[in-house]
Amino acid sequence: MNAMPKKIAPNQIAGILAETFKEKAEITCYVGSNAATPTASLEALTNAIKLRSLKLPYFKMVHLLLQGPVPYVEKGLQDRIMTYSIFSAGDVRQAANEGRAYYLPCTLANLDSLIGKGRQFEPDVALLKVCQNEYTGEFSLGLSVEALHTAIDHAKVVIAELDPTMPFTQGQSVVDAQSIDYLIEEGVQPVYDFAAPDFDNLSAEEIRIGELITDHFIDHGITLQVGLGKIPDAVVGTIRDAHYKDLGVQTELYGDGLMLLEKEGIVTNRKKKANLGYSTTSLIMGSKELYDFVHMRAGVQMRPSAYTNSAETIQKNAPFISVNTAIGVDMLGNVWADFIDPRRYYSGVGGQPDFIRALHNRIYGTPIIAFKSLTNKGESKITKMHPPGVSLTTSAYDGVVIVTEWGVADLREMTIGEKALAIASIAHPNFRDDFLRYVYDDPLFTKPIGFTLDKTPRGVIPYDGSVKLDG
């Protein structure tokens, strides 16, 4: 391996791989993800596959969420290249639902074991993005670390796009030049950025959910993990307004909301037991302002997702509050987030199960699943039974707290009957009475002695704030 990577153009990728792997019929390629998707490389490789001018092996493309176009999922290429997507959206989601891509379920904590030495998806090739420190010459993985160190360590060929628009992040994002075989500078597209959330104009439902979580579970000095989306944004907004102090951050994905709390001086990381003094994350995605904020910032450091999502690290930073969302929950406390129904794949499990299971004991903190009680079509997200055939990101035996705009249902240390009553109690009023009667009348759900429908079930905190809703 050369001391410094060799510079190539995107249209040289296919030739290099054809020559390197001329004795192999099939190879695995691990692709960097999210805001740092190496689009130029993916487009060049797909163009070469379409031309059929080179004898190329069959490609198995393994990755998390990819931003921008993913041309190789188009119809007619699956005999030469196939996606194994761990988390999906857009074209990849559609391809998976149409049988042109594989959904590969895996939590972020387990990514390294999926692609490690001797495993089914050990990579032959790693395609990724880097940026370079103009003073030291060091390379950084920038916005996407996740499992890239493992991919780089095991891949025979490492191809990196050098992207000057990507921030140079601190921590375990630094990659030595000797680990990169080929460097691409021409035709590289900028990192993907997105408009920042409007934390001052949340919906009434979102504000209610944020208030419930903040008032009952957030305290000075806790460590926080929140995902991206309207509900986590609401939690961030209400935390900001409540002026808590010395919060810490350990998360799989760092976005504009966590930056806001850090800028406000609410996140200081001074109370963390692991990684004292800085926020830890494996991915960063959001606005241009966010990318400018994390550039060269020692207070936000990257770690592999096997570390940020490990139970050991999470538990060390107790008290820990994890806030994620889901597509639905049933009366047993089963939660699903990667499928809408058995015929419609949506995204992936991400790191939700990692944080939920790490926080199985109250001494470590609280795993929260929060969502608005209704879909955009007015259907209840709380159902009597989960859709048969969907995978579950949280099972009935996982102790979680469910939050809707109508209240909190703390399901920890509850019987099935108690869980069902608690969950039914925070459903939308259009469905609540029917759900409660269903639970009350069904002998499967053994009720507490003396319980009547006019009582608030154990573990339930109804919303009692000032934000009014119809219903």
pLDDT single digits (tens) 223-232: 999 987 888 8
Does any domain span residue 285?
A: yes
Give backbone dihedrals phi and psi of 219, rounded to 5 degrees, phi first.
-150, 165
Residue 313 tokens, joined: 């690290």
What CATH number is given to the structural domain containing 235? Answer: 3.40.1080.20
CB neighbourhood size of 152 (10 A)? 20
Mean pLDDT on 116-126: 96
Residue 11 tokens, joined: 């249209």
How far apart CA 184 and CA 179 sit, in angstroms, is 14
- The pLDDT value recorded for residue 43 is 98
Does any domain span residue 49?
A: yes
3-class SS at 286?
Answer: coil
Burial of 31 (0-12, 13-18, 19+ CB in 10 A): buried
Q: Is the domain of 171 the same as that of 210?
A: no
Whole-prediction pTM: 0.95
Q: Among residues 184, 218, 252, which one ends one of the domains?
A: 184
Q: Is the domain of 307 the same as that of 226?
A: yes
Does any domain span residue 78?
A: yes
Q: Among residues 156, 184, 212, which one ends one of the domains?
A: 184
Q: How are beta strands 283-284 and 253-254 bridged, if at all?
A: parallel
Does any domain span residue 426?
A: yes
Q: Is the domain of 264 the same as that of 178?
A: no
Who has greater pLDDT, 136 or 163?
163
Contacts of 433 (CB under 8 A, 6+ apart): none
Q: Is the domain of 112 the same as that of 248?
A: no
Catalytic residue among 146, 205, 211, 252: 252
Provide the pLDDT confidence category of residue 233 given band limits of 50, 70 and 90: confident
How far apart CA 130 and CA 132 sit, in angstroms, is 7
Structural domain boundaries enclosing 137: 6-184
Amino acid in position 38 = P
How far apart CA 83 and CA 99 sit, in angstroms, is 11
127-161 pLDDT, tens digit per residue, is 999 999 988 889 999 999 999 999 999 999 999 99
Does any domain span residue 193?
A: no
Domain count across the chain: 2
Does any domain span residue 97?
A: yes
How far apart CA 325 and CA 347 sit, in angstroms, is 12
Q: Taking phi first (over 0 means left), then psi (-120 to 50 degrees means alpha), and beta for anything else, what does residue 300 get?
A: beta
Burial of 429 (0-12, 13-18, 19+ CB in 10 A): exposed
Q: Give the number of residues written for the chain.
A: 471
How far apart CA 359 and CA 200 sit, in angstroms, is 31
Q: Is the domain of 272 the same as that of 141?
A: no
Does the annotation count 252 as an active-site position? yes
Q: Is the domain of 172 the same as that of 230?
A: no
Mean residue pLDDT of the chain comes to 95
Question: Could you tell me the sign of the dihedral formed by the alpha carbons of 194, 198, 204, 209, in that order?
Answer: positive
Evaluate if residue 1 carries a pLDDT over 50: no
Q: Is the domain of 14 the same as that of 76?
A: yes
Cα angle, residue 192 at apex, residues 189 and 194 outer, rounded to 5°: 150
Q: Is the domain of 234 the same as that of 307?
A: yes
3-class SS at 115?
Answer: helix
Residue 19 tokens, joined: 């020559």
Q: Is the domain of 112 the same as that of 13?
A: yes
Q: Is the domain of 38 the same as that of 174?
A: yes
